Structure 1
Amino acid sequence: MQTEDEERLPSPSSDSNINSILANRLKLEGNGLFQRGSYKEAAEKYKDAITANPTCPAYYSNLCNCYFRLKRFKQMEAAAETCITTAGSIADESKEHTTNSATKKKEVKFVKGHYWLAMSLKHQRKYKQALVIVEEAVHLSPKNTDLKLLHAEVKQKIESYRCENANCASNNSEIDA
């Protein structure tokens, strides 16, 4: 038998709804800060949104954009990896329920995580790793022009550092090309 206090407790589903609403509000606040150029403060709002609802890849993507503007490429890399994992989890759940074209759209929708990961790797001069990620992203979303441009940039970076003899390669050892 339940007491009056137990009966008044919100159900787990209402908790998740409350968290989703809170997370969305925090995201909107972050968006406003981002638009004003307050990237550090926007990042904090996106992190708060992630705390409230860690299953939304858009929050991680927005956080990546802040880290990009702040030139925090290691943090951007970590957020992008989580964005990819989170988006993949959502796509996997969708596959269990349906196999229609909406599922395919959901899988490709958050190719942004791949984009941000490749960008972070590129800015850390990890060109080979960036190329692998961006090629995977282009495979998932072949019409995405941002990905095509990034792919070309990364390939150009690799080519510009590639040397024909071993002596030249040893001089550029700090570059992962």
Structure 2
Amino acid sequence: MKITEKNYLVNGLAYSIRSAETKDASQLSEIRVKIDGETENMDRESGEAFMGEAKFVQLILADGHAVRNLFLVAVADDQIVGYSRCEGSMLKRLAHKVEFGVCVLSDYWKHRIGTNLLTQSISWAEQQGIKKITLNVLETNTKAIALYQKMGFKVEGILKKDKKLSDGNYYNTIVMGRIKD
């Protein structure tokens, strides 16, 4: 699915959020590796489960035609600085919900890019009649948890010792959901 591009100016940074296009595939492949290396909040370490340009082209094309998928990019100075994705299911029993994920380069964390990607995704989901958005977040990512709670997400469960980080310790993953009544 696609949305109309929207422009923002936050803390001196002008950027836009729009649907991903096939021309973004190369940048998306590069930014994914970079973001994975900047924080341990992601599931992957830098370079793990690598997705090249061709894989991103396939994903963008598929998401552009899927009624229950949305792939957004945040662009500043002609560069992708973040992205998000909602992925749904065509199975009837699961067609009412999508799973949300977001990534933003650390240099751009203070510009509400993640917030605006989430806001656009929630708006799209409501327009599509999607009743539930789910996500997983590492327990140490307290800023993201606070944002999700502010946006109406509730804790639905905890996956105990779900991830082992570089310090050798295990951490919990929090499962959250936002239900539109």
Relative to total residues, which structure has the larger strand share, 1 or 2?
A: 2
Please state which structure has a larger fraction of its residues in helix: 1
Higher RCO (CA-CA < 8 Å; seq separation 6+): 2
**Is the TM value for this pair above 0.5?**
no
Which of the two has higher C-alpha Rg?
1
